[in-house]
Amino acid sequence: MNRPTQRATNETLDADGPAPRWSYPSDGDPRVSDLYGTIDEELASNDSGFSLGNVRLLRYHGVFQQDDRDVRNGVERQYRFMLRLRATGGKFTARQLVGLLDLSESHGENGLHITSRQGLQLSGIRKRELRAVMRGIADLGLTTLATGGHFGCNIMCCPAPDARDAVSAALHATADAIDASLSPRVDAYDAIWLGAGETTMGPDGLRRVDRPSGPALSRRPSTPAEPAPNGSPENARTLPQKFKIGLATVFDNCTEIHAQDLGLLAAVEDGRIVGYNVLIGGSMRNTFSIASRGSSLGSPVAFIDVDRAVDVVRAVIGIFGEFGNREDQTRGRFKYLVQDWGLDRLRGAIEDRIGPLEPPRALEIVGHNDHLGWHEQGEGRWFLGLLVHNGRFDNNASDDSPRDTGPLRDGRFDPSRAARWKDAARRIAGRLAGEFRFTPQRNVLLCGIDARDRDEVDAIVEECGIPAADRLSYLRRHSESCPGLPQCPAAITESERRLPSLLDELERELEQRGLNDERIAVRMTGCPFGCTRCYLADIAIVGRTVEREPRQDKYAIFLGGGDLGQRLAMLYRDLVPADEIIATLAPLLTAFREQRREGESLADFFVRMEP
């Protein structure tokens, strides 16, 4: 039996670890050559987890090792695995969603989790069941490949379908073309998880081509611990760090493209997209102790025609792969190359690869939609947007559930009742809604519903305890948190489990001041990495540190982002104990009520008043 020689712990996994070597060859057919490690051998062991080196490699496969920090208590850790699925623009067919729910019930935690990049996650998978679940995912035409590690992340795109003009279809066509161009073909993924076959991703989803087993699948190239010599064929490299891409229009910045490494902002004229402003250098990750390593907004560098989008994205990623910082992983993200080079030099480097670029246009973002409620889709169809509290797509009903979540009662979330998402999805999928799309705010759109079926869908939603959009306050509708403790290895403090009670307290403070109808949203995270794009919110509450005896979580409070996703919040107070967060905000709310200008939002008020 091949036992791990070094056990991975949550605390030892910093960022994404050393990068296996990878490149985009000029023929447009990327291939990873050395993501095998000893994963196959360790799958056969009786240990619940993998060794540290394989844990890092598994991220490139979209497989993440976790353990429940609530139940450690000095005993040997029992690891489980989270699988992250790739889905450009958050699109899943009814068959795919039901199939994933089946897998979560037979092998996982009886539910799915929507990510802030519009993907889905299955959690609670045992090591011995990984291969079966991965094959089940492939049978649904889906993949976990390139959802972690130093790859391009899931490409974000406004999910709202609209057949009444060409904008929605064109936006998704661009996103799908970029994804098809960048998606790697990985022998290791095929060999370890799917057997003697090859998978490729294209605009129509995952395709598998069976082939005989042989030396090509059994070979084990050099591992990151044994790097190939410079100049050898195996010296292809990954990106220096992960790379995030998003698309939006000026009318709806729901994907918050200023937070992306590369954003494409569509210019729309006469109901069609005429081109994109290219924004580069956004990132939400924040290193508090170093001023130059804070969060950053993407900056416009060029305007391009629609048919140049793929070429520009590949050129930017090529520059990042060639010149990004590989020596210092803390400065590996693309934003640091943008800082070091400046926009003019980067623009010149892009032009060297693909030819002249137009200067960016003066495009103004005027909307940021959550797409909740009923909306006409065109061609006699409608879609219904529904809130999924913190992205938990399950029947969060059990009395022993560790999450303080649930639908509304008297305008507030009541954890004693259940929002039965799995039941609703199974009743609606296929027969009433042919497609499910997940939003950047981790909500769901039930798409393709015939106008005659709206009443039946409403009845199912009501029976399953899911609140309609018109029953939600703005604060409840737009506030969210990352999962945080107990399973996220990066979490320092509570987030998801603390947010409901914090919102209860904040709502009382707002009501006392007559501010309960204000457009105020809170985003809470358990660490500074910014996974919910928290630094764009009106109020961001960010986990900073924890005192152990007695336990006391402390947070940084940021203010001043706003509702258009294009302004960074500023640090207001640091190291605030959890039980003092509302007391710290209360004087600001009073000042806002007494000194605000007509029509001024809380975020705008703070920006105006802050010296």
277 neighbors 261 (Cβ within 8 angstroms) = no
Query: In whole angstroms, what is the distance from residue 182 CA to residue 245 CA?
Result: 11
Is 467 in the same domain as 587? no
322, 354, 386 — which closes off a domain? 354
Scan for tokens 């900056």, then name that residue.
299
Scan for tokens 């509702």, then name that residue.
563
Is 496 in the same domain as 452? no
Please give the pLDDT value at position 399: 32
Closest by CA to 56, choosing from 148, 164, 191, 194, is 148
| Amino acid letter, residue 309 | A
Is 426 in the same domain as 448? yes
Is 261 in the same domain as 140? no
What pLDDT digit, counting tens, does each position of 398-428 carry?
333 334 444 444 445 443 356 899 999 999 9
Q: How confident is the model at residue 293 (pLDDT cuts 50, 70, 90)?
A: confident
For residue 432, what is the domain's CATH number? 3.90.480.10
Is 499 in the same domain as 605? yes
Is 160 in the same domain as 24? yes
What pLDDT digit, counting tens, does each position of 579-604 carry?
999 999 999 999 999 999 999 999 99
Is residue 234 one of the residues assigned to a domain? no
Is residue 540 one of the residues assigned to a domain? yes
Closest by CA to 396, choosing from 437, 370, 432, 424, is 424
Is 86 in the same domain as 177? yes
Peptide bond into 18 cis (omega under 30): no
C-beta atoms surrounding 394 within 10 Å: 24
452, 472, 492 — which closes off a domain? 472
Please give the pLDDT value at position 516: 93
Is residue 5 one of the residues assigned to a domain? no
Query: In whole angstroms, what is the distance from residue 99 CA to residue 84 CA?
Result: 15
Angle between helices 602-609 and 581-595 (to 10 degrees): 90
Is residue 363 one of the residues assigned to a domain? no
Question: Integer distance in angstroms from the first to the last C-alpha of the chain?
Answer: 64
Is 141 in the same domain as 283? no
| Amino acid letter, residue 575 | L
What pLDDT digit, counting tens, does each position of 544-554 carry?
999 988 889 99
Is residue 20 one of the residues assigned to a domain? yes
What pLDDT digit, counting tens, does each position of 521-543 carry?
999 999 999 999 999 999 999 99
Is 60 in the same domain as 140? yes
**Could you tell me the two tokens for 68?**
């429940």
The total of structural domains in the chain comes to 4
User: Which residues are paired to 184 by β-bridges?
Assistant: none
Share of the chain above pLDDT 70, in %: 83
Is residue 168 one of the residues assigned to a domain? yes
For residue 84, what is the domain's CATH number? 3.30.70.3340
Whether pLDDT at 354 is above 60:
yes
295, 324, 354 — which closes off a domain? 354
Is 448 in the same domain as 487? no
The CB-side HSE value for 133 (13 A sphere, CA atoms) comes to: 29
Closest by CA to 413, choosing from 505, 526, 514, is 505
For residue 503, what is the domain's CATH number? 3.30.413.10
Whether pLDDT at 16 is above 60:
no
Helices (H) and strands (E) in the chain, counts: 16, 26
Please give the pLDDT value at position 33: 63
Is 466 in the same domain as 487? no
Mean pLDDT of 95-102: 98
Angle between helices 309-323 and 343-354 (to 10 degrees): 120
Mean pLDDT of 102-113: 95
Is residue 21 one of the residues assigned to a domain? yes
What pLDDT digit, counting tens, does each position of 132-170 carry?
999 999 999 999 998 999 899 999 999 999 988 899 999
Across the chain, what does the average pLDDT equal? Answer: 85
Please give the pLDDT value at position 193: 97
Is 385 in the same domain as 288? no
Is residue 531 one of the residues assigned to a domain? yes
Which residue range is the domain that position 402 belongs to?
A: 373-472
Coil, helix or strand for 84?
A: strand
Query: In whole angstroms, what is the distance from residue 585 CA to residue 332 CA?
Result: 35
Scan for tokens 């930017």, then name that residue.
316
Q: Which of 64-68, 154-158, 348-352, 439-443 has the lowest mean pLDDT?
A: 64-68
What pLDDT digit, counting tens, does each position of 169-196 carry?
999 999 999 999 998 778 899 999 998 5
- Bigger pLDDT: 91 or 399? 91
